[in-house]
Amino acid sequence: MSETVSFGYTEVSPDEKTARVGEVFRSVASRYDLMNDAMSGGLHRLWKDRFVRLVKPRAGETILDVAGGTGDIAFRLAKSGAKVIVSDINPAMLEVGKERAAKKRIDGLDWSVQNAETLSFDAKSFDAYTIAFGIRNVTHRAQALAEAHRVLKRGGRFFCLEFSTTLWPGFKEAYDVYSHKLVPKLGKLLAGDEESYRYLIESIRRFPTMDAFKAEIAAAGFVQTRVEPMLGGLVAIHSGWKI
Ligand code: SAM
């Protein structure tokens, strides 16, 4: 039987997933930042702040931000003086990011179109690898984790911020209703695109549990793997070290 992967709740071929995820982010690129604020009530800013605090970027380091989109993580990392490469498979998202960087007068970022599964960088190039709200969109997650491990230096650190499953009982049910019923409507209203936001919610549901994803990170060769849940695991920060 030929391989299938999940595109939200639908099973599709790997090529079709890559193409359809591409369409989603091409379609939402210009409204992406507005929608993040609207959907999370601004909370995504706090999650990203916490994420970058855990990464602890330092001047003199070289950091690869994968699936960097419109630059939210890279902008925060760059404040430390670290050299940051923002990479993403989708040129439309990076273009919005470049415009935002120019408006915010953030210099010194490198922008690079890259597929997380087949990075063009040499082995042992980076002190840290970050990926925020990106890994669930990748077609072959194990391949992306293997690439993360390859491009990190020994002693390099891996950090992933991603939606997961909240373990808080009442909150879980409320969030289910909110995300399945309201988010696609918000997408229609604010971004003129209900389907893309339906995919984004469905892709969250198909993502492995915090412990299962932690095991995948360990299987890629990382050690001292950790997970920090936020809002009971609605969002989680996974990390690990390459030794
Ligand atoms: N990191 C940004 C943030 O936190 O705001 C953007 C996250 S956005 C939800 C997901 C990003 O993953 C999109 O920009 C999309 O183009 C990118 N993406 C999807 N598949 C990818 C892949 N295989 N390799 C690299 N980036 C990918």
Ligand 1 mean position, distance from CA 21 (Å): 9
Ligand 1 mean position, distance from CA 85 (Å): 14
Predicted structure pTM score: 0.96
Q: Which CATH superfamily is domain 5-241 in?
A: Vaccinia Virus protein VP39 (3.40.50.150)
* Residues linked to residue 241 through DSSP beta bridges, in sequence order: 157, 223
Nearest residue (CA) to ligand 1, atom 5: 72
Range of lowest pLDDT (118-122, 167-171, 237-241): 167-171
Atom of ligand 1 at shortest distance to CA of 25?
A: 16
Helix (H, G, I), strand (E, B) or coil at 85: strand
Q: What is the DSSP letter of 47?
A: H
**pLDDT higher than 70, residue 49:** yes
**pLDDT higher than 70, residue 131:** yes
Spatial strand order in the sheet of 126-132:
110-113, 83-88, 62-66, 126-132, 152-163, 235-241, 223-230
Residue 71's Cβ-side half-sphere holds a number of Cα atoms within 13 Å equal to 26
Which pLDDT value is given to residue 170? 87
Which residues line ligand 1 at a C-beta cut-off of 6 Å?
21, 25, 66-69, 72-73, 88-90, 93, 115-117, 132-134, 137-138
Q: What is the DSSP letter of 233?
A: G
Grade residue 1 by pLDDT with cuts at 50, 70 and 90: low
**pLDDT higher than 90, residue 42:** yes
Atom of ligand 1 at shortest distance to CA of 117?
A: 23
